[in-house]
Amino acid sequence: MPIRPELYKRVRRFAEKTRPDSDSDRIFLTLRRSSRTGQYEPLGGNGDTAPPLSTAASAPTAPPPAPVAPADACHHGGITYCVLNLAVTQATIGSTICVSGWTSTVRPSESYTENLKRQQIASEGLPGGLSNYEDDHRMPLELGGSPANPYNLSPESPASPNPKDSGETSLKYQVCDRQLTSAQAQQQMVANWLAAYPGYKM
């Protein structure tokens, strides 16, 4: 009976084990249909049954799952506190947040923040009018906060100056003096001042 090419190698190895002195390329085997598996199995010279031959291809091994990226300071425990500016990293602080005047180059327009503040005050049901609030960067620009993402802006009262502002400035100096990494300063900002969006710890 013809044997498939993929089974030939296994049959050949079996034949060589049972007839090691043979150098013939032709193999003669007695096959017996297994009552257990229903497959044909070769019989050795002593009547022993060879290991069952599988006609099924080996299942490919699934690749390991991709590693989960660690949560940043603004997202952990399934909670959003703020949003970061991906252009600001520890490697780029010398050309971003530690450059005098850099925040003015990324700060969104007043028309954008005023319109957003109006919407947020209404959606959150906050008392008072626009003048009672400042649309605050929850993670400040000088610590690598996103300039325009709505989840990094929320109505803050009282408006500047307030205690959070001094905390932002202190942390920024520590980062630029290499006393803290940017990630450490961001973690402190969240721990000290921010509740789950849109709340504050003030």
What's the number of domains the chain is made of? 2
Tell whether 34 and 111 lie within a shared domain.
Answer: no
The answer as to whether 200 is a domain residue is no
pLDDT band, very low/low/confident/very high, at 173 (cuts 50, 70, 90): very high
Tell whether 95 and 154 lie within a shared domain.
Answer: yes
The answer as to whether 131 is a domain residue is yes
Tell whether 121 and 181 lie within a shared domain.
Answer: yes
Tell whether 86 and 175 lie within a shared domain.
Answer: yes
Tell whether 36 and 81 lie within a shared domain.
Answer: no
The answer as to whether 70 is a domain residue is no
Tell whether 89 and 36 lie within a shared domain.
Answer: no
Q: Is the dihedral of CA 193, 195, 198, 202 positive or negative?
A: negative
In this prediction the pTM is 0.65
The answer as to whether 60 is a domain residue is no
Tell whether 94 and 174 lie within a shared domain.
Answer: yes
The answer as to whether 199 is a domain residue is no
69-90 average pLDDT score: 90
The answer as to whether 80 is a domain residue is yes
pLDDT band, very low/low/confident/very high, at 185 (cuts 50, 70, 90): very high
Tell whether 100 and 156 lie within a shared domain.
Answer: yes
The answer as to whether 188 is a domain residue is yes
At 133 the pLDDT is 92
pLDDT band, very low/low/confident/very high, at 71 (cuts 50, 70, 90): confident
Tell whether 156 and 90 lie within a shared domain.
Answer: yes
Q: Decide which of 67 and 9 is more confident.
A: 9
CA distances from 119 to 115, 126, 150 (A): 6, 11, 11
Q: Decide which of 7 and 151 is more confident.
A: 151
151-164 average pLDDT score: 86
- Is residue 111 predicted with pLDDT exceeding 50? yes
Rounded CA separation 98/177 (Å): 9
Phi, psi dihedrals of residue 31, rounded to the nearest 5°? -105, 140
Is residue 15 classed exposed, middle or buried when 0-12, 13-18 and 19+ CB atoms within 10 A define those classes?
buried
- Cis before 158? omega within 30: yes
Tell whether 185 and 116 lie within a shared domain.
Answer: yes
Please give the residue range of the domain that contains residue 34: 5-43
177-199 average pLDDT score: 96
51-75 average pLDDT score: 58
For residue 134, the surrounding DSSP H or E stretch is: strand 134-137
pLDDT band, very low/low/confident/very high, at 160 (cuts 50, 70, 90): confident
pLDDT digits (tens, 9 = 90+) for 8-43: 566 566 656 655 555 555 555 555 666 666 665 655
CB atoms within 10 A of CB 61: 6
Tell whether 31 and 92 lie within a shared domain.
Answer: no
Task: Write down the mean pLDDT value for the chain.
Answer: 81
- Is residue 151 predicted with pLDDT exceeding 70? yes
CB atoms within 10 A of CB 133: 19
At 66 the pLDDT is 43
- Residue 172 bridge partners (DSSP): none
- Is residue 117 predicted with pLDDT exceeding 60? yes
At 68 the pLDDT is 46
What's the residue count for the chain?
202
- Residue 35 bridge partners (DSSP): none
The answer as to whether 50 is a domain residue is no
168-197 average pLDDT score: 96
